């Protein structure tokens, strides 16, 4: 197949591009300019004309490329496929369906209506997506377990890496509370955080937190492996790409997760939500090197069963073939087929 992968959210689009190419498909990755992407949702309409030109360029690229199908990431961007009148799979990622406005809801409804199939990337998005159509499907985020792999056991590393952005949607107040408690109770436990979001300066003032600049993706496995513990999202009850990649590196991940029913077996996260509980969980892991290794091994094995890149690419392939052949889309399997 000739496939156009359009847009990259949390590296899912680029990862699936690699996975589909490994399966022998001719895949072209197209990245929109996304003019005004960082603007507040209520202000974004002012960049509508620039967005329209951007969409027109993508439509032209898809049409001239004679692609069999497109895989479009981010809900409202599906209108590129609707306007271009080419078959497309729509892939939703979070804020695109959680944070809708009176302006974006009609766009999203139209994108859903014209899509041949709809994926969503985290299980909490099901009710948001199913308000537009009832055949949406959870596609576990693809993790490259060869790139994201342990280079040294967690037991031989100390310190905590905060793998998520320091923003409200990630539970920044709980993250800060945990770090502040650790500064008082166990100041020798070093914490590393990435400069992202408006709260970075507050974290930087804590004596136990070291801030580092945003990193190129290829550097992340090394950074994860330099730490013994990883701290992730403390809101919404889901795991994003960063938490899953840390698990693939055989690191115990402290996070808040409450979507167990989606998987055939319970994910081996270290679950905590409030700052006091998070700090206690980190202290327990910091004091028990064997536990860090045990949870790290369990986490990597779990990710390998349910979030392999090859599995996600195989499912996109299966769905695309069914669409192009005019067949019903087969039900997904658990664990997913690679």
- The string of DSSP codes covering 19-67 is HHHHTT-EEEEE----TTTTS-TTTGGGGHHHHHHHHHHHHHHHHHHT-
CA–CA dist 311, 13 (Å, integer): 14
Q: What pTM does this model have?
A: 0.91
**Whether pLDDT at 46 is above 50:** no
pLDDT-derived band at 38, boundaries 50, 70, 90: low
Q: From 75, 105, 80, select the one nearest 90 (Cα to Cα).
A: 75
Biggest alpha carbon distance in the chain? 62
The full set of domains in the chain, from first to last, is 2-142+308-325 (3.40.50.2000), 154-306 (3.40.50.2000)
| pLDDT (tens digit per residue) in 138-194 | 999 999 999 999 999 999 999 999 999 999 999 999 999 999 999 999 999 999 999
pLDDT at 335 (0 to 100): 76
Q: From 101, 96, 99, select the one nearest 79 (Cα to Cα).
A: 96
Contacts of 332 (CB under 8 A, 6+ apart): 137, 138, 139, 315
Q: Cα dihedral angle (117, 122, 125, 127), rounded to 10 degrees?
A: 80
| pLDDT (tens digit per residue) in 110-133 | 999 999 999 999 999 999 999 999
pLDDT at 10 (0 to 100): 92
| pLDDT (tens digit per residue) in 190-242 | 999 999 767 899 999 999 999 999 989 899 999 999 999 999 999 999 999 99
CB-count exposure of residue 186 (10 Å: 0-12, 13-18, 19+): middle
CA–CA dist 51, 29 (Å, integer): 19
pLDDT at 309 (0 to 100): 96
Tell me the mean pLDDT in the region 57-83. 96
């Amino acid at each position: 197949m000739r496939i156009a992968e359009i847009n990259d959210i949390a590296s899912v689009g680029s990862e699936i591009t690699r996975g589909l190419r490994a399966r022998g498909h001719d895949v072209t990755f197209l990245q929109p300019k996304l003019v005004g992407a960082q603007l507040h949702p209520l202000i974004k309409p002012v960049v509508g004309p620039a967005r329209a030109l951007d969409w027109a360029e993508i439509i032209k690229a898809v049409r001239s490329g004679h692609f069999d199908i497109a895989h479009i990431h981010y809900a409202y961007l599906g209108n590129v496929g609707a306007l271009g009148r080419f078959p497309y799979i729509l892939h939703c990622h979070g804020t695109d369906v959680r944070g809708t406005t009176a302006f974006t809801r009609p766009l999203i409804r139209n994108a859903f209506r014209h899509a041949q199939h709809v994926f969503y990337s985290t299980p909490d998005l099901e009710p948001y997506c199913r308000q537009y159509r009832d055949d949406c499907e959870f596609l576990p985020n693809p993790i490259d377990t060869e790139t994201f792999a342990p280079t040294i056991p967690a037991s031989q590393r100390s310190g905590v890496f905060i793998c998520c952005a320091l923003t409200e949607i990630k539970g920044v107040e709980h993250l800060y509370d945990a770090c502040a408690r650790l500064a008082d109770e166990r100041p020798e436990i070093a914490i590393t955080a990435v400069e992202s979001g408006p709260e970075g300066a507050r974290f930087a003032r804590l004596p136990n937190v070291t801030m580092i600049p945003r990193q190129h993706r290829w550097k992340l496995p090394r950074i994860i492996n330099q730490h013994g513990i990883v701290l992730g999202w403390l809101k919404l009850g889901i795991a994003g790409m960063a938490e899953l990649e840390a698990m693939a590196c055989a690191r115990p991940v402290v996070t808040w997760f409450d979507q167990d029913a989606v998987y055939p077996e319970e994910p081996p996260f270290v679950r905590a939500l409030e700052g006091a509980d998070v700090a206690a969980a980190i202290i327990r892991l910091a004091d028990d090197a064997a536990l860090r290794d045990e949870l790290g091994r369990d986490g990597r094995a779990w990710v390998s069963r349910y979030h392999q890149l090859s599995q996600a690419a195989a499912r996109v392939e299966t769905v695309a073939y069914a669409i192009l052949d005019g067949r019903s889309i087969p039900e997904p399997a658990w664990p997913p087929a690679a």
